[in-house]
Amino acid sequence: MYNEIRLEKSLYNIGGKTLTQVLSQLDPDDGYAGTELSSLDAFERQLKRFDIKVSGKDCDRVEKFFSSTESAVLFPEFVRRTIKQGMDNASILPSITAAVGYTDGIDFRGLTITSEADSAIAQGGEIPETSVKLASSATAVKKFGRKLSCTYESIRNQRIEALAVVLRNVGASVARSINLEAVTVLATGVTAKSIAGSKIAYSDLSTFWASLSQYDMTTIVTTPAVMADILALDEMKYCVNDFMSSGRVVTPYGVTIVKCSNLEDDMLIGIDSTCALESVFATDVIVDFDKLMSTQCEEIACSVMVGFSKVASGAVAVMNA
């Protein structure tokens, strides 16, 4: 049972797993089916065990984590999970990534696709070929992270819920850096098109959509300013109901428009999200668990390592607005 597990620092050193993953092996969720604990994962059951409330009217203060040596073990994982939640909330990767991979190394070789023109095959003729090869050079995974300067004394009396707001903000900052790296990889080597006039028009969007002749443009990534100009177009008023029901901005012909806040130069990047980009992670979100279990900590640092590779170069188009 969850209340019989001995929590100690060594649980953070088991095969590169997060504490949540280790706890899930020691205390499987399946054992709680049909009980009042079925909605909690293994980490949340430990919070319940030590009566640590992380949100709501009766939310505890940060010092509650340090009421015992065992409960202090939970604090780094709370920090990691909350930062990751902020990253997930701000990440555009689910909208632009076709495949997600993992590596133990510092680089990887992605796949590239090249295809001959589509045509009917004459009798005795050659069958058109699609070629899949390893990329000509390795792609390095890069580290993205952020450090939050603080001391235990400065946060010990803060409500855990308030600290979580700060941690999610830290995670969002990391995610925005990762977003920029991903779209930069997509745009590299692609010749940009230009709009017809001085300001983007609906006809520019439709022409841009049609420019991926062999692929289906599913997603456009652009700056907040350009996205505002698009939303102001008369033709987009017919999409309000879609936005109200799903929270996504979708053009009348089905292209999802995604905002990338730190993208520069009023650029639009159009992709077929089913085959344009591969994301490869070398680590999950990492925090310095050893320091965070001490009441003498002076900072909270997090990092993640990830790299990106274009799979089908023809599945990306760029336009300057």
Mean pLDDT calculated for residue range 250-267: 88
The H or E element that residue 164 is part of is helix 160-187
- 176-234 confidence digits (pLDDT tens): 999 999 999 999 999 999 999 889 999 999 999 999 888 999 999 999 999 989 989 99
Does residue 64 sit within a domain? no
Q: What was the pLDDT predicted at 107? A: 82
Among 49, 66, 88, residue at a domain's last position: 49
34 is a domain residue: yes
Count of helix runs (H) and strand runs (E) in the chain: 11, 15
Asked if residue 58 is part of any domain, the answer here is no
Q: Are 227 and 257 in contact (CB under 8 A)?
A: yes
Q: Which of 21-25, 120-124, 211-215, 293-297 has the highest mean pLDDT?
A: 21-25
Q: What is the structure's pLDDT at 20?
A: 94
Q: Specify the residue for token string 């439709």.
A: 206
The predicted model gives 241-260 an average pLDDT of 81
Distance between start and end Cα atoms, the chain: 59
Torsions phi, psi for 16 (to 5 deg): 70, 10
Q: Is residue 242 part of a domain?
A: yes
End of a domain among 49, 70, 85? Answer: 49
119 or 96: which leads in pLDDT: 96
Task: Give the Cα-Cα-Cα angle 109, 114, 117 (nearest 5 degrees).
Answer: 175
- Locate tokens 């090249």: which residue? 114
Amino acid at 102: Y
**pLDDT attached to residue 292:** 87
pLDDT tens string 74-95: 999 999 999 999 999 999 999 9
Residue 118, pLDDT > 70, answer: no
Looking at 195-283, which runs of residues are DSSP E strands? 219-222, 249-250, 256-259, 267-271, 277-281
In the predicted structure, residue 243 carries a pLDDT above the cut 70: no
Alpha-carbon distance of 150 to 154, in angstroms, equals 6
Residue 116 in domain: no
Is the residue at 239 inside a domain? yes
Predicted confidence (pLDDT) per residue in 269-314, tens digit: 999 999 999 999 999 999 988 888 887 788 899 999 999 999 888 8
Q: Quick check: is 162 in a domain?
A: no
Q: Is residue 228 part of a domain?
A: yes
The total number of structural domains in the chain stands at: 2
Residue-number span of the structural domain to which 255 is assigned:
190-279+310-320
Note the pLDDT of residue 291. 84
CATH number at residue 249: 3.30.2320.10
pLDDT at 47 over 90: yes
